[in-house]
């Protein structure tokens, strides 16, 4: 049986008796009380001093999970659940990983034991909230992206013709590429005089107006090809052009 401790800052770690020692004593006392069930503590301590429980990228936790994956641990004892992780989403992932290896865990100060029926009930409630949190977060992100796109803001992905990334990577706005902008204005102007999108596509092909050129991952050029009918439809309906004053020149 192993115990895990975390401390979000390194303040006080050099003291003779710090919070990690207090957590260790509480976990060791619990393990000692379970000797009649065959529980015993191991010599190694898994202390993540100076690392926040809000992240799972912690050295001691990684070592502990490696031991679990190897099937050498049957139960983890923690001082509080948030010493394992403070994120419900991460908690759900960790629980799935533990269950796959037949490993349970105990929170000694919160009367939580995943090896009991009540502990499993509590666990299922927490996992339900974790799922709810993930769904709400996903909905919020989708709503934000949709609202931003309606305002013509660039939310990442392939750059539209007529735009380049802003020189400042912290800015989530686009900078007008004047050379490509002339092509975009020409396409909008042609559309006003064409009877249909098919007629526009034929005129664009005759004038050899091309898509945006961009470097690929291998360094080779991508794009710079005749604009197809679908690309023209996307360009004409893209709100990024409607919201930017430069396209009304």
Assigned domain for 140 exists: no
Assigned domain for 158 exists: no
Pair 186, 105 in one domain = no
As to burial, measured by CB atoms within 10 angstroms (0-12 exposed, 13-18 middle, 19+ buried), residue 203 is: middle
* Domain CATH code at residue 58: 3.40.50.1390
- The CA distance from 65 to 73, in Å, is 9
pLDDT greater than 80 at residue 209: yes
Task: Tell me what the mean pLDDT of segment 131-143 comes to.
Answer: 82
Q: What is the pLDDT of residue 243?
A: 56
Pair 184, 242 in one domain = yes
Task: Tell me what the mean pLDDT of segment 181-192 comes to.
Answer: 90
Q: Are 174 and 185 in contact (CB under 8 A)?
A: no
Q: Which secondary structure element, helix H or strand E, spans residue 21, and what is its range?
A: helix 19-33
pLDDT greater than 50 at residue 18: yes
Closest-CA residue to 47 (of 78, 93, 1, 91): 78
What's the domain count of the chain? 2
User: Which has more confidence, 112 or 194?
Assistant: 194
pLDDT greater than 80 at residue 21: no
Instruction: Work out the number of other CB atoms within 10 angstroms of the CB of residue 117.
Output: 8
pLDDT greater than 80 at residue 30: yes
């Amino acid at each position: 049986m192993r115990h895990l401790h975390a401390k979000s800052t390194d303040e006080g770690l050099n003291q003779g008796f710090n919070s990690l020692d207090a957590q260790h004593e509480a976990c060791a006392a619990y393990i000692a009380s379970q000797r009649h069930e065959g529980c015993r503590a191991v010599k190694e301590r898994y202390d993540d001093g100076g690392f926040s429980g809000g992240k799972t990228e912690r050295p001691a936790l990684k070592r502990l999970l490696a031991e679990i994956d190897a099937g050498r641990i049957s139960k983890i004892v923690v001082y509080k659940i948030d010493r394992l992780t403070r994120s419900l989403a991460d908690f759900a992932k960790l629980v799935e990983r533990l269950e796959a290896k037949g490993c349970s865990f105990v929170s000694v100060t919160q009367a939580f034991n995943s090896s009991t029926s009540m502990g499993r009930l509590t666990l299922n409630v927490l996992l339900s909230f974790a799922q709810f949190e993930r769904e709400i977060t996903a909905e919020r992100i989708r709503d934000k992206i949709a609202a931003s796109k309606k305002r013509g803001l660039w939310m990442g992905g392939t750059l539209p013709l007529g735009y380049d990334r802003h020189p400042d990577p912290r800015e989530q706005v686009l900078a007008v590429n004047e050379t490509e902008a002339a092509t975009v204005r020409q396409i909008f102007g042609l559309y006003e005089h064409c009877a249909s999108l098919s007629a526009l596509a034929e005129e664009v092909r005759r004038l050899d107006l091309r898509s945006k050129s961009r470097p690929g991952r291998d360094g080779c050029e991508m794009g710079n090809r005749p604009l197809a009918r679908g690309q023209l439809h996307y360009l004409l309906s893209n709100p990024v052009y409607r919201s930017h004053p430069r396209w009304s020149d």
